[in-house]
């Protein structure tokens, strides 16, 4: 069983250097270090308005967690096509093929043709979809 070192619950330092002394930011190499880093992130998030030093420290920890998760807990999306991604985003946003056509500024029938794989997305379409859904345009490419 893994043991997680629980950080003390006293008030967090306000300056970056003091936070670094308390818990030096470094590459996360195991699940205990991961849990401790998440706990510090939670403490910072719960502390209210952050100082500049606390914000910088929080961003540093978040980047370390993201790197660890990308390496250890990556989700395999190789079997998800760009059209599957587009269909999912449309469903999540209550949109249909006609809404897609309006978003892309194309003839109403083109929305269905794109979703059925009969027509391809153009660079302009990718830009519009990326802007609308706030995602990387590569998500829509196969």
Domain limits, the chain? 16-72, 82-140
Q: Which CATH class is domain 82-140?
A: mainly alpha
- Report which of 21, 4, 5 is spatially closest to residue 13, judged by C-alpha positions: 21
pTM: 0.51
Place of tokens 């991604």: 85
Instruction: Indicate whether 37 pLDDT > 50.
Output: yes
Place of tokens 């030093």: 53
Per-residue pLDDT of 47-88, as tens digits, reads 889 999 999 999 999 999 999 988 887 667 678 899 999 999
């Amino acid at each position: 069983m893994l043991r997680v070192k629980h950080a003390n619950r006293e008030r967090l330092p306000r300056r970056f250097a003091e936070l670094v002394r308390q818990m030096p930011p470094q590459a996360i190499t195991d699940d205990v270090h991961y849990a401790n880093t998440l706990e510090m992130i939670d403490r910072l998030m719960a502390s209210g308005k952050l100082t500049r030093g606390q914000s910088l420290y929080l961003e540093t920890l978040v980047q370390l967690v993201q790197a660890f998760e990308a390496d250890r807990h990556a989700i395999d999306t190789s079997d998800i096509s760009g059209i599957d991604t587009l269909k999912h985003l449309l469903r999540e946003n209550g949109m249909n093929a006609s809404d897609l056509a309006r978003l892309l500024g194309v003839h109403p029938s083109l929305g269905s043709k794109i979703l059925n794989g009969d027509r391809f997305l153009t660079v302009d379409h990718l830009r519009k979809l990326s802007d609308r859904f706030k995602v990387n345009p590569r998500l829509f490419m196969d």
